[in-house]
Every structure is written in structure tokens, then in C-alpha cells.
Amino acid sequence: MGLINLLIKHKYGNYGLLTYVELELVLSVGMVLSYNTFYPTTRTISDYAQQFTFNFILSVITLILVVLVIKNIAFGTGQDFFDGTIITFLQMKGRKKVFLSLYVTDVIIPGVIFILTTMTTFYLASFNVSLTWIPGYLSIYLFLSSASYIVTILTKRPFRAFFISIVILLLFVGVDFSQNFMLIYCYLTMMILSIILLIASYYLFRGVSI
């Protein structure tokens, strides 16, 4: 817990997480608002067209959130690799603990905050949606952030990693919205792929020379 606290202070500062909480609350309010612009008289999801609209809104909001997380990974962890600041953390703990702590501070804390704030907003706004939006959100989120981790560890430069990650994100948007690949909509496949990418980035992190 000590390393995670140190990393939070190093990455976000004292009030950085506050910005994330407020921004993600406002993003979840935007989900309800944009759903009601499509269907003004209802706040429940009953048929296929409404489910499709909600999935579209959710994927757009998730992509906005993923850009923030890619910024965290590329300009936070990538800058640590470039400067050699990561040697400080590696001297404190082993490589496995440092990697897991980096992953928790970069990816998991913003993701969990988004789930909590969105569930709060949906409860307070009486927005009736089944909980299947959580795996749909997590599949896109974890896949893109794990891919960004691999790119960051391979390039070890902040701006190059950010650029390549954004290119991957735009390719994903093209594949996602063209609907030619039904693979994207299979949440389980995306989750397994993201876990495979996470394990691959862990082994890359173990073998990387700093």
C-alpha cells in the first residue's frame, strides 16, 4: 500500500484524483442526458434499438475516458522510463510489485471511480439499465489500456508511445463503428485478449533494460 500511495502522489499530486472523480461524474451525467435526447419519454431500456443507442453512447464515453488513461500511461509511466525515475521504485520493491502498482494507479483506479460514479448517477436519476454495461465498458477500457502499456514498454519514449496508442485507438474506433467485426461485441473475447495483453506486458516489463 505504501508504494501505491507514493505513486498516486507522484502521478496525480494531492488533488489530481479529485479532478478524475468530478470529470467522470459529469461524463456519467452526459450519458443520461444524451440518452434522453434520443428517447425523451423513457429512462428504461426495453428493446433492441434502445440498447444499441445506449451501447453507442457508452462506447463514445469510454473512448473519451481511455484517452485520459492513455495520457496517464504514456506521459506518466513513459516519462518515468525515459528519465530513469522508475529505478527509484525498482529499488524499493521487486519488479512484480512495481508493475502491479503502476497498473493499479494508472488504469484500475480511474476505471473503478468511473463505475462507482456512474452507478451513483444511474441510481439517483432512476435510469434503469441492466448491469451488463460494466463488462461492455471494461472490455474496451482494459483492452486499449493494456495495448498502450505494451507500446509504452516497447518504445520507452513518452510522445512516441502516446502517438502510437492514439493510432491504435483510432483503428479500434474504425473497427468498432463499422460493425464488420462481430468480435468486438463479444465481451468475453475482448476480456481474454486484454488479460493476455496484460500478461505479455508484465513479461516485457520484467525483461526490459533501463
Partner 1 sequence: MRLGIILISVGILILVLGEISFPLHTSLTVTHNFTSPPWFTSGEIYVNNGTFTVYSDYLVENLTKGQSICLNNFTLIGKGNATVTFSGFKIFYTRNYITFSEIVIILGVVLEILRIIRLRLIR
Closer residue to partner 1 in complex, CB, 118/146: 118
Interface with partner 1, residue 33, by CB under 8 A = yes
Closer residue to partner 1 in complex, CB, 114/202: 114
Closer residue to partner 1 in complex, CB, 16/94: 16
> Number of residues in contact with partner 1, rule: CB under 8 A?
27
CB 145 within 8 A of CB 73: yes
Give the footprint of partner 1 on residues 121-160 (CB under 8 A): 121, 123-126
Closer residue to partner 1 in complex, CB, 91/126: 126
Shortest Cβ 38–partner 1 spacing (Å): 10
C-alpha to C-alpha distances, 170 to 11, 25, 45, 104, 175, nearest whole angstrom: 26, 25, 29, 25, 9
Question: Using CB under 8 A, which of the segments 33-41, 65-73, 96-104, 132-140 binds partner 1?
Answer: 33-41
Phi, psi of 186 (to 5 degrees): -90, 105
CB 144 within 8 A of CB 44: no
CB 127 within 8 A of CB 120: no
Among 3, 10, 17, 200, indicate the residue that binds partner 1 (CB under 8 A).
17
Interface with partner 1, residue 2, by CB under 8 A = no
Interface with partner 1, residue 209, by CB under 8 A = no
Give the footprint of partner 1 on residues 41-80 (CB under 8 A): 41-43
Structure-block grid coordinates of residue 114: 468511473
C-alpha to C-alpha distances, 92 to 6, 137, 146, 156, 189, nearest whole angstrom: 11, 34, 24, 21, 36
Report the alpha-carbon distance of residue 150 to residue 204 in Å, rounded: 8
Among 1, 37, 91, 180, indicate the residue that binds partner 1 (CB under 8 A).
37
